[in-house]
Amino acid sequence: MLTGTGTGVGKTVVTAAVAALALSVRRSVAVLKPAQTGLAPGAPGDVDEVNRLAGDDVTTWELARFPDPLAPATAARRADVMPVTPAQAAAAAVELSRGHDLVLVEGAGGLLVRMDDHGGTLADVAWSAGAPVLIVAHAGLGTLNEAALTSEALQRRGIECAGVVVGAWPAEPDLAARCNLDDLPIVANAPLVGALPANAARLTRPKFLEMARRSLAPSLGGEFDANGFAAEHAA
């Protein structure tokens, strides 16, 4: 499962990169989006972006869509429709796992954003499905606190953290971003397993796959070396 330290940190692009690497070694891949918010019916959503970047061979499933750009529980309530519960999302993930080598579940916003009015969150989905969680963080100032809080929430619930990925590494990183390469693994108590360039979503599929291989660690199917990357950008 992939969660962000907030909105707009690059979860969808990271999801597509992990999917692209899995496809490249002939693994079957499914991507589940339990709740898509902020889009009208028919508009391309996050799962469509995954297909565009990683390939049409990725099976995608969007369980629900709500037009307001809000937390899923709030957006569902405003649309006067039933929300997606963690149990429903976990069941869908398990169903997909029966026919795929890898299932990726992309959350909406952060780990504890409410999915329903009973307080259900993506953390509950991960716990129910027994899935590790990959944290996607932004590069700059403020990310350490957000990553630490996300990691602590996972630890308190007994959920494995698969690592931290910087979702959009800037072309000209500032001092905070460069220092964060060393500090993120410490505060998150999890390895840095990738850093995708900020322009990754603009790449063609072949170039996107090359980027994914460079930018994600071997645990995710790539060749990224966190120590080498941090040394290259040492403050």
Sign for the CA dihedral angle at 28, 12, 113, 188 comes to: positive
The tokens for 188 are: 């998150």
Which residue is catalytic, options 11, 33, 114, 138?
A: 33
195 closest CA partner among 134, 138, 133, 157: 138
Place of tokens 């909406």: 108
Q: How many CB atoms lie within 10 A of CB 22?
A: 21
Sign for the CA dihedral angle at 131, 61, 63, 136 comes to: positive
Burial class (CB in 10 A: 0-12, 13-18, 19+), 145: exposed
User: What's phi and psi for 13, nearest 5 deg?
Assistant: -65, -40
10 closest CA partner among 42, 50, 39: 50
Give the H or E element holding residue 65: strand 65-66
33 is catalytic: yes
In angstroms, the CA 41 to CA 71 distance is 17
Catalytic residue annotation: 33
